């Protein structure tokens, strides 16, 4: 099974830690965006195309939501969730 992990880029480290825990159970986690820095991936169009390509490879999508009071709410993860829903993936 392949799982795409969606979350806020401000919480990339937390998302990577969650992805590593999930991978220990034999699930392939697609979350390439968690390794990006503003310097390494400044092309917004490429970033979105890459994320959408990973979602197309996934069997399901998991949203890592920050605390509701956090200023770092989901932001772009809303797009990822909508795209996955449109493709019929379980969220």
Over the stretch 43-79, which tens digit does the pLDDT of each residue have? 666 677 888 999 999 999 999 987 767 666 666 788 8
Q: The tokens of 71 are what?
A: 């200023």
Over the stretch 32-43, which tens digit does the pLDDT of each residue have? 888 866 666 566
User: Taking the CA atoms of the chain, what radius of gyration do you get in angstroms?
Assistant: 12
Write down the pTM of the prediction. 0.84
- Burial of 71 (C-beta count, 10 Å sphere; 0-12/13-18/19+): exposed
């Amino acid at each position: 099974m392949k799982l795409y992990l969606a979350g806020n880029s401000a919480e990339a480290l937390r998302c990577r830690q969650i992805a590593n825990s999930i991978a220990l159970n034999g699930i392939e986690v697609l979350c390439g965006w968690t390794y990006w820095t503003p310097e390494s991936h400044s092309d917004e169009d490429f970033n979105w195309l890459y994320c959408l390509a990973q979602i197309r490879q996934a069997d399901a999508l998991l949203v890592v939501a920050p605390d509701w009071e956090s200023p770092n709410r989901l932001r772009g993860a809303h797009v990822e969730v909508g795209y996955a829903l449109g493709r019929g993936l379980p969220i």
